[in-house]
Amino acid sequence: MDNYEELESVVLRLRSEILDGLLNPGQIMPSAEQMALEKAVNPDSVRIAYAALILEGFLSRDSFGNLIVAEHQAGRPIVALVLPHLRCDWHDDDMFASDVIIPLTTSIEDEARRLNITISLKLDNESIEREKENLFGAVAQKLDGMIVFPITTNKNLKVFQEIDDSGFPLVFIDRHFENLDVDFVESDNYQAAFDAVRLLSQKGYERILYLTSEAEISSLVNRTKGVLDSSRYGAHVTTRILSWESSFKVNEISDIVCKFLISSQCKAAIFADSPRMANGVISGVKRSGLDLDNLAYACFDNVPSCEQLNCLKLMIKQPLDQVGKVAVRVVNSRIKGDPGPNHVYIKPEIQIIDPS
């Protein structure tokens, strides 16, 4: 049994025990270590399962901080939350979990609790087949709706279309696919990228290297459109579209950045569409020997490692709290009969960090 299957098994068993009355409301749950021994599983799987069941409303904390079985109200809507992963204990892109997934799930949990909605968490582990199973599973279980963070692929478009055509309330978060007219709530990546390039141009950065990756998802497509449209207003923009695999390769990104900066001979900026490119950018800057007074760095989401670059920085902060809350409101309105579609863009905040 792999890590994902073990986690899924623990969540299903505990949820069933609660619904079947084997675990009673108010009952204190064993520690993760004790439960792991009882179920013959890894303690980390139990910890993540507990977090998932808190999100779903089956577990809660009492006034003493004990983890207890929560009172589960009959009749309240149950909405599936389909995510790539909850935490990244066995996933390479750990920054993605800490910077995106965790705050997003927290905001969804808070708003669902306020609206008296139960969230049923389903994890894909970045698998196309598991995503498909989760989608059809939510419908087969006769849940009331679904909020989906699609994995970076368009292989399940027909599945999404089939579910949406059936009238089942379905809302995408963070990204959507252009050829599907499905409800979505996401950051206004186009406007954020447009404004970032314009700000860099206004501050005198004549050349900008934009690093992005191949993916047919709206977040990346719209960022690239925003960068290219804004380049008409001053700066010369060079766009490098990397393969998904190359976007994780430090040496490859370092070479691209180094060559760009050496050839620039002017105030230049590096704009990366993902935090995973940060180490490659840092390496390339150091190899180029460029005076940091003539450098700027822009990126979506906060990148702690880039604090070592003492230059002008633009950090585009995703409005994850608002995205999660609005997504819950949209799926709730669809459950209540709103015909939709609802397409919501929420503008990110651009934070300027100027060492001077």
Instruction: Name the 3-class secondary structure at 221.
Output: helix
Nearest to 285 by CA among 303, 308, 314, 319: 308
Q: Residue 181 — very low, low, confident or very high, per pLDDT cuts 50/70/90?
A: confident
Query: Rounded distance, CA 117 to CA 324, Å?
Result: 14
| Range(s) of the chain covered by CATH 3.40.50.2300 | 3-187+322-346, 189-318
pLDDT digit string, tens, across residues 262-282: 998 889 999 998 877 888 999
Contacts of 52 (CB under 8 A, 6+ apart): 11, 86, 121, 123
CATH topology of domain 189-318: Rossmann fold (3.40.50)
Level-2 CATH architecture, domain 3-187+322-346? 3-Layer(aba) Sandwich (3.40)
> What is the pTM assigned to this prediction?
0.78
Nearest to 175 by CA among 104, 92, 74: 104
Q: What is the DSSP letter of 141?
A: T
Phi, psi (rounded to 5 degrees) for 147: -115, 125
Q: What is the pLDDT of residue 2?
A: 57
DSSP sequence for 296-331: EEEEES--GGGGGS-SEEEEEE--HHHHHHHHHHHH
pLDDT at 4: 66
Under 8 Å between Cβ of 151 and 310: no
Indicate the SS3 state at residue 119.
Answer: strand
β-pairing verdict for 67-69 and 59-61: antiparallel
Question: pLDDT tens across 286-309, in order?
Answer: 999 888 889 999 998 765 556 778
For the ranges 34-48, 132-146, 157-171, 199-213, the lowest mean pLDDT is seen at 132-146
Beta strands in 20-76 (DSSP E): 59-61, 67-69
Distance separating alpha carbons of residues 279 and 151, to the nearest angstrom: 24
Element (H, E) at 147: strand 145-148
Query: What is the pLDDT at residue 88?
Result: 42
